[in-house]
Chain A
Amino acid sequence: MAAVHPVIAPEARADAVLDVRDLSIDFATPRGPVHALREVNLTVPRGSVVGVVGESGSGKTTLISAAMRLLPDNAELRGGAVLFEGEDVLRMSPQALRNLRGQRISMVFQDPMTALNPVLSIGQQMVDIQYRDRGLGRAAKKRKAAELLRRVGIPDPMQRLGNYPHEFSGGMRQRIAIAMALLGNPELLIADEPTTALDVTMEAQIIHLLRELQQDYQSSILFISHNLGLIAELCDYVVILYAGTVVEQGTVRDVFHRPQHPYTEALLVCDPALLQDVTRELPTIPGDVPDLVNLPRGCIFAERCPRVFERCRAEDPATRWVSAGHAARCHLASPLERS
């Protein structure tokens, strides 16, 4: 069961910035362990943008927290590895980990209203992030911070360094968070639903900005969203997460045009104009998400699957390749001829 499923494409995996292998994570709770992630495999090829889609509670935040080893205290690693440039983040020394964070991997968090320290000016916070750079004086660090603020579209950046987070709007704060993430010139930028707290116009602007920055800085991005339209617009690859497992992944083109998993189909079928409509949120599918404490036998999606048949309830499907770089975890998925 725990076989390594090569994902995206084996050749891409060799040159991956981030390579998550068979990652399983539980949370200890009074009810018993919550199996939040089970055998998750995913790869972020160098210079690409990978999107992760999933309902609330599907494990998106757990996944990216594991990538930076920022898991809550009650999280327990059940197995697997998170390889960043070939090194396992989950087994690094604290020192190596600190040198990774903010330097080689940076994170933009879900809620810009609470992600910044409320009692320190943003200038101070941006100077602190550069604490490793002993050769650089405070004034130079401030200039660098202001430079990045200007790059993400904050007017008067030098003056605004003295301002506190509450003196900026939500969109501005998210821009600041992005500027902070870029300070270390990271190889990988992780963004956890960076636009959920923002209105539609602001969202489009932030996405536009991320795309531009990705091209400028040649970094890779792992992008998490509820919003399929955004994923379609921003990403090269997409990973569909359901109740802690990857049910389908591949290039955006393959997955969105030829979905192989009934869950992906259900997400897409609700709105044919989906790929054009940037504002769309994840549609609701009838039925309940399985309890992550007592997992059902067989396929995790069986309870809600319109195509469920006997075998599904008895046997958990393996991840199957439907074409190069396109995999789905369903008994019905079969290799597909490209026309």
Chain B
Amino acid sequence: MLIYALQRIGLAMLICVVAMTVLFSIAYVIPGDPASITLGPRATPEMREALRERMGLDQPLPIQLVNFFGNVLTGDLGVDVWSKRPVTTIVFDALPYTLALAAAGLGWAILLGIPLGCYSAIRRNTLIDKLTGVISVGAISVPSFVVAIYGILIFAVGLRWLPALGAGAEGDLLDQLWHLILPAFAIGLGWVGYLARLVRASMLEVMSENHVRTARAFGLPERMIVFRYALRIAVLPTVTLLGIAYGGLLSNAVFVEFVFNRPGIGQLAVAAVNTRNYPVMMGATLTTVFLFAICTMIADLIVALLDPRVRASL
């Protein structure tokens, strides 16, 4: 188990290194010099040179790469071109909002998706199952910003049940949770559909396995068979997916944060792109990638903990 955990951590680190290299190369390959883009057309050559020097762009490429890695490792993501605040601080200020948003989105997905999928599988081919199927596929195919806009129109503007914009008052946890419901739903709805489909499929598979027939042959109550004997196995593939889903939600947060005007990594990235704030852009993207790698790693470790067969094979 320990070896597996180490392997998995190693893999996550490798993913991060590859991602960093790719990001670095993209920044290098795209036309235009970040310094002149940042400063705009009216900058003097001296200003550009000064900025280039500050950003380390005057160094040879391999040195730049090494510096880049070194800086990231020491937690230094550079300095905001405009406010001169360290990017790390900016990112870490925005991060909790996005993490909470993604977690709440995932919460919706788990809360609705798993029971729906489970119920569909048990009541296979009934009207409810078919209806769930149609709704799930619908939910998967509607982009989250559309859900966000209609969510605001219906629940905030029309019914006035939920707040439309912002993240809630600073320090008021209840208010912040209140502000989280709608954006989280918008971001999580697609995953509700995914989870419902996945859980249904794996539940059907498990329910037709031999050991379920054994449980039936011993007259175990259906409730016990479903929850203790089948669902426990059926959610295992779901856990792996949830790790990926969480990462996906982090990057999906861009639209929803924008629509709901919430602070967060997505909002930060959009603003950085608009203002050509190259270090902030880089910092936001890198952080998202790191989180993605960490989430999938954690999901794999959880599966290993839950499944004695996987545990034994390690």
Give the B-binding residues of A (Cβ under 8 A): 68, 70, 97-103, 106-107, 109, 111, 114-120, 128-129, 131, 164, 166-167, 177, 180, 184
Contact = CB atoms under 8 A, between A and B. Distances in A.
Given A114-B210, A120-B229, A131-B224, A101 B309 contact: no
A128 B228 contact: yes
Contacts of B217: 68, 70, 101-102, 106-107, 109
B214 A116 contact: yes
Q: Which of B210, B228, B229, B312 has the most CB of A within 10 A?
A: B210
A178 B99 CA distance: 51
A119 B210 CA distance: 14
B309 A166 contact: yes
Nearest to A163: B308
Interface string B203-223: 000000111011111111100
Nearest to B208: A72
Contact of B308 (A70, A118, A129): A118
B184 to A, nearest CB: 31
B233 A118 contact: yes
Given A109-B210, A128-B224, 6 more contacts: A97-B219, A109-B213, A115-B214, A128-B215, A131-B221, A166-B308
**Chain A interface, >50% SS class:** loop
A179 to B, nearest CB: 12
Contacts of B93: none
Contact of B312 (A131, A164, A177): A164
29 contacts: A98-B219, A100-B219, A101-B216, A101-B217, A101-B218, A103-B219, A106-B217, A109-B210, A109-B213, A109-B214, A114-B209, A115-B213, A115-B214, A116-B211, A117-B214, A117-B215, A117-B229, A117-B233, A118-B308, A119-B233, A119-B307, A119-B308, A128-B218, A128-B220, A128-B228, A164-B312, A166-B308, A166-B312, A184-B218
A111 B210 contact: yes
A109 B218 CA distance: 12
Contacts of A129: 218, 220
B209 A119 contact: no
A101 B218 CA distance: 5
A97 to B, nearest CB: 7
Given A164-B309, A167-B312, A115 B219 contact: no
B160 interface: no
Nearest to B214: A115
Contacts, number: 74
Nearest to B311: A164
A127 to B, nearest CB: 11
A177 B217 CA distance: 12
A325 B209 CA distance: 39
Interface in B231-284: 232-233
Q: Which of B209, B213, B214 has the most CB of A within 10 A?
A: B214
Contacts of A111: 210
A180 B221 CA distance: 17
Closest 6 CB pairs of A and B: A101-B219, A102-B218, A114-B210, A98-B219, A164-B308, A102-B219
Nearest to A105: B217
A70 B211 contact: no
B230 to A, nearest CB: 9
A184 B219 CA distance: 11
Contacts of B224: 128, 131
Nearest to B218: A102
A200 B7 CA distance: 41
A74 B225 CA distance: 21
A102 B232 CA distance: 23
Contacts of B309: 118-119, 164, 166
Nearest to B209: A114
A131 B228 CA distance: 13
A198 to B, nearest CB: 16
A295 to B, nearest CB: 28
B185 to A, nearest CB: 32
B209 to A, nearest CB: 7
B75 to A, nearest CB: 41
B221 A115 contact: no
Contact of B211 (A101, A117, A167, A184): A117
A99 B219 contact: yes
Contacts of B216: 70, 101
A296 to B, nearest CB: 33
A110 to B, nearest CB: 8
A107 B229 CA distance: 18
A114 B215 CA distance: 12
Given A101-B218, A131-B220, A119 B232 contact: yes
Contacts of A107: 214, 217
Nearest to B124: A73
A256 B209 CA distance: 37
B239 to A, nearest CB: 13
A180 B228 contact: no
Contacts of B214: 107, 109, 115-117, 177
B286 to A, nearest CB: 38
